[in-house]
Each structure stands twice: as C-alpha cells, then as structure tokens.
A and B are shown apart, each in its own frame.
Chain A
Amino acid sequence: MDPFKKQLDEMMGDTRLQESRIKQRVKSELTPTPRKQKRSWHVQLVTAAVAAVAVFLFMTAVPFTQNSGNEGRGAPYDPLDDLAEIATLQKKKQLSTIDYDSFAQLPVLEQLSDLQYVDKETFTLAGKKGLYHTVIERQENLFDEAVYEAGDIVRTMTNTSSHLPIYENAYYEIVAVPGDRVVLQDGKLTVNGKPVRSELKEMYEENGNTIAGGYDQLLNAREYFLVNHFPAKNTMQAGTITAVHKIYGEVVALAEESTTTSIYLELENDYTPEQYFDLYLYDQIFGDGSISERLSASDLPFTHSNRLGELFLEASYRNITYLSDTEVEIRYQYDREAVGEYVFKMYKDPTGIWQWGM
C-alpha cells in the first residue's frame, strides 16, 4: 500500500461502527412499509379546499410585478430597471455583509505563490491576534479551460453602468460554469433545468434577497454565472453572467500581515522582476498609485492602461527574458491566431528594485 494512503487510513481509524449503522439504515429504508390507510373522503375534500384557498391567497397577495424580469415571453427583461437600486446599495456599501469569520478555516500562508495576491482589506478573526487579508489566486490557462467550479468563492472588481454587474470589491460565488444553461426568471434560478441547490435558495429566502436579471442562456467557454456570497439582508442582488477576465481570482487562503512574506504586504528589494511588475499592476488597479510611481522608471503613462486588469489576471501567459543584468523583457503570449502579444520592459534601479520603463 502507498505510504500516504496508509497514513490516511490510520488517520481515519476504526470505522466499524459507522459501517454497521449504514447497513442497518439502508436495510430499513429498503424494507417495504405497510401501505398507509386511505383517508376518508371528507378529509380529502377539506385538504383540497385548503389548497385552493392557499392558491387564491398567493395569487392575490403576490404582486407579479415585483421583479422587472417577470413579464414573460415577448417582454424582455430590462436590467436598467434594477440597476439604479443595486448601484445605490453598492455605492453606500450596503449590498454585502461580509462575514470574515467564515474564512477562519482557510490556511494561513507563510509565503505566497506567484499567482497569489492579497486583498487590500484587512480584518481580524475571533480569538486570534493580528490583521488578516484574504489570499486570492489567479488561474492558469484561464482562456483555455474551465478554471472555476461551482461553489468557488471569487473576488470581483467589475464596475460598469452599462448592464447589471456592479460588484466592485465583492466576494461572489460561482453558481454555473461554461457549458451550463442558466435560466433566471421571476427570481427563480435553474441551472441545466434543475433548481439551484435548495440551500442557496434557502439562504437567499431566509435573508429576504431577490435576484434580479432575466436570463435564458447557455454559458460560453469564457462565461460564469455569479451571485453574491455575502448578500446583505433584504436586498436585491445582481445575478450576473461574467466573463472570466473580469473575475479576479479565487479566495484560497489567508495572509497574516506580520508573518506572511509577500511583496503585496512589504516592498523590499529581493523580489523577481515579474513580481515587481505584478505589484505595479496591482497598485494601479487596487491602490492609490504611490507604489506604482515608485516602481516606474518613466514619467510616461503606462502603455495598454486599458488592459491593466487583464494583464494582471493573465500572469500565467507571460514569459520573462533577461536582456542584461539590469533589463528584462516581459512578453505576454497567448498562442492564438489573431491575438496579439504585449511586450513590456523592466529595469533594475541602483537599490535593487525593478521598475517598469519604456
């Protein structure tokens, strides 16, 4: 037996008790039970009457215009009807209630890998000292395969007023992945013809949340369907189809400010040119620009500034070539026809820090 398998077996110990309980329960479930006695006719009549009254009350009590996506066939959903409400909540930071303690089970990393970065927001955990950040992992091959799975918690940054997605700085959950058919109408969400897991529905129902957005769509190879992982109570949420290059990675771990080594937490001079390049992009996207100013060898604005987010997320598509001890070339290559390459240069300054330059 493989030594690791042996360790797993030892870790799980003796399971005879569990096994005998399962056998007993399966046996009793499969044993036919005596047929229930037929109910008398008047009980059935009363039951039917109660159901009819309930349907009547439901039809009169539930306003059928509560969502703008419920007009049915021929009346397409207009996201702008809901955009104002959602945008207002987002601006006032009332769209989400982040429960950071739910992240307490994640591992705390001592060092981040090249594709990991930290969320700028800090938080404390019950019973623990120190300030924590969530660690977000960008994905390899994000344009070439399905990189997220249903249930993954992801970081989003999109902020657009052109259609429903308004979820800047929020944790969303993947509900459907490329190839899934998503139908969302009258606030009811189905994926591949099945209602989304009842617990999700339950949570949104308990919370008094509705999901806006009318869709009947087969997700293409780059699209995911997301909903807010931490919806604030009694709010309308935007269930959104999102392109993979607008998802800023998956929440995989935690970093503790004083113990985790990361260029995102402390700028030092012993990182690779690629890490400095990432930090430059990171500061341009999430920061106030002061770090990227320190990391710039040029007064000129960054080339391709409209692709900052994409360049950050596409980290696995780039190659580094040392042109000399103090100069490197960073080249993004996608190996696809009609998709251009992006080339950048980094220069080492006298203090050992690498700076972006022309």
Chain B
Amino acid sequence: MREFDAIVDEHTRYLVRIAYLYVKNWATAEDIVQEVFVTYFQKSDQFRNESSLKTYLTKMTANRAKDYLRSWKHKKDVVFETIFAQTKGTDEEVIQKEHLASLEQKLFQLPLKYREPLILFYYDEQSIADIALYLQLNENTVKTRLRRAKQQLKEFFSEEGLEE
C-alpha cells in the first residue's frame, strides 16, 4: 500500500493536468487518470522500465485522452464555453484572470494536431525527436505544427519564444 500511495501521490497532479490539456473537461480528465492508474496497478508487470514511470504513465494518459477525443460521443457533446465568474479583486488580478481565460479559450480552439505537440513540448518538456517518435511524424512536421500553434497563441509567448 505504501508503494500505491507513493506512486499515486507523485504522479496524479501532473497526469490530471496533462489529461485536461487534451480534453478540456475536469470530470473526463479524472476518469482518464483513474483508468490509467487502475490499468497500471493491475498490469504493472507489463511495465518494463524501458522508460521512466512518469513517461510511461504520461503516454498512457495521452493515448486515452486521444481515444476520448476521437470518440463520436465526445464530438456530439455540446461543449459549453467556460463562463468565468465575475471576479472581485484588484485590477491586476482581474487582468491576470482575463489573460488566463483568453489563453484557455485560444488553446482549446487549436485543433488537436497543433495542440498536442504544444502540450508535449512545453508542458511535458519532451524533445522534438521524442515527440516525432511518439506521434509517428517526422521532426520537420512536428516543428511546423509547433510553429503554427505558437503563431495562434503568439500573445502568450515572448518575442524570443516565437523566434525559437
């Protein structure tokens, strides 16, 4: 049980965030991570230590999130725009919240083919080569998609970040 606690405590926060960045729905992200852990603990003998546990669980999470996004059920669901409650606070806080709301809106407007390299590169901190391998694309395609994604979100990157 100690091992169970250690693994769940260490990885849940990260995995539920990765899942959310794919599916834009906290309840679905929770379901996905729950499934990932249950599968892992039931079949942990299949984990061969070829990569770190974090990498293994992240890939399982990303794959399940993509399965969900591809599902017709998801596509039929009406996704309501997040309505942000009226915020009381200092001007600076309000501006910051509006900035993050705008990031969320624009991020989820990106088609998955552009959003996914962005998540993997900036949030999961994978290299271009690793992303290309995982997505079965060539590196130039990954770079192109990353560039287009950044172009759509240019206001959230510094000038230097855009030139990378």
Contact = CB atoms under 8 A, between A and B. Distances in A.
A105 B122 contact: no
A320 interface: no
B130 interface: no
Nearest to B26: A18
B137 to A, nearest CB: 7
A8 B21 contact: yes
A13 to B, nearest CB: 8
A5 B122 contact: yes
Nearest to A101: B78
Given A3-B158, A145-B138, A149-B113, A22 B30 contact: yes
B4 A27 contact: yes
B102 to A, nearest CB: 10
A18 B70 contact: no
Contacts of A202: 72-73
Given A22-B34, A105-B109, A11 B104 contact: yes
A227 to B, nearest CB: 10
A166 B21 CA distance: 37
A154 B96 CA distance: 37
A339 interface: no
B152 interface: yes
Contact of B41 (A30, A146, A250): A30
Contact of B17 (A12, A107, A150, A203): A12
Interface in A157-197: 197
Contacts of A102: 75-76
B74 A26 contact: no
Nearest to A9: B17
**Which range holds the interface residue count of chain B?**
35 or more
Interface in B82-100: 96, 100
Interface string B88-125: 00000000100010011011111111000000001101
Interface in A138-153: 140-141, 145-146, 149-152
Given A9-B17, A18-B30, A200-B72, A4 B152 contact: no
A42 interface: no
Which range contains the number of A residues in contact with the other chain?
Answer: 35 or more
Nearest to A107: B109
Contacts of A3: 158, 161
Contacts of B22: none
A140 B38 contact: no
B103 A146 contact: no
Contacts of B55: none
A299 interface: no
Contacts of A146: 136
B16 A15 contact: yes
B13 A19 contact: yes
Given A18-B29, A22-B12, A199 B34 contact: no
Interface in A93-118: 102, 105-107, 113
B136 A22 contact: no
A23 interface: yes
Interface of A: 2-5, 7-12, 15, 18-19, 21-23, 25-27, 29-30, 102, 105-107, 113, 140-141, 145-146, 149-152, 197, 199-200, 202-203, 250, 252
